[in-house]
Structure 1
């Protein structure tokens, strides 16, 4: 079936998201490893992505962990430096699909405040045909409820959705609902998949 809409994850699909790399550059790999061993920073981020207030969550964790207070606050103060850079080829693919009249949805684990912050640097985040942002929905991938929200609000059969994400668990959850899926391992592979699906020409997918 030719997809009727394309669904993009954002982190590591349209924007690089590598907190470990950021902290390696700021405090050094050794201290970064020690901090990530001492504090579950990804669980902290999941709270933000689930809809809790960005500043409140980061401040709470920092104050509860005084040995790492300064470093944890960098997650708040320099968040845009962590969510960087854009993956330009993927952004072009998004625009090319829309230019061909293919609806493009986001389906992303993203906080309410952090999404608004990211959009100040990346205007394409305001250009989706439909947004499905976990912070607003109150549920994160790979919970089946977030995929159900896309199906119900988008009004498109699961089999007619083509979804890309960089995480295998998120892909597996979509596939279990009958979605067409693509594990994102680089923008060229995604471009090739869009061409194979008949949504873009090879020229459009460059």
Structure 2
């Protein structure tokens, strides 16, 4: 039997909820228009580059140059980020905290922009409980790149 010596938690959609549709359902009420915006402007591929370390200022400038008619909502992606993470998953948090309280070695590994992770830590104190965290935006690597695990 293998001994478990180290436990690693992901954060987004494991410990805290993340859904960009939450603020944008208000900002772009039409579902088809909102889907087009996420498929063509603020795409997952664009957003992951902030998780890799690109600044929001650079990210916004890039998209605004390509889609000037959507400048306000491009800026709203960062401005309204706090609405995208409305709550923790209490059951997952309880498991993590329970492991820490029992003396287990727990860390976190996450694809997260450095500034939004700092904000998340202020909002969700349990993110400060594990021994440490590897944040993609701080080290310039993202999952599933092997280098982030190494």
Q: TM-score, normalised by structure 2?
A: 0.89
Helix, strand or coil at the partner of 2:37: helix
Please list every run of at least 4 consecutive aligned residues from structure 1 whose deviation after the TM superposition is greater than 3 angstroms: none
The aligned residue for residue 8 of structure 1 is 9
TM-score w.r.t. the length of structure 1 is 0.66
Aligned residues: 148
Which residue of structure 2 lines up, in the alignment, with residue 64 of structure 1? 66
Structure 2: distance between partners of 1:80 and 1:62: 21
Structure 1 runs not aligned, ≥5 long: 149-206
Structure 1: distance between partners of 2:17 and 2:57: 22
Partner of 1:100: 102
In the alignment, structure 2 segments of 5+ residues that lack a partner are none
Measure the CA separation in 2 of the matches of 1:114 and 1:67.
26
CA deviation vs aligned residue, 1:91-120 (integer Å, no higher than 9, x gap): 111110001111111110011111111112
Q: Distance in 2 between matches of 1:5 and 1:141?
A: 19
| Structure 1 match to 2:141 | 139
CA distance in 1 between partners of 2:86 and 2:64 (Å): 23
Asked if 1:76 corresponds to 2:75, the answer is no
Structure 1 residue 141: Cα displacement: 0.3
Partner SS, residue 15 of structure 2:
coil
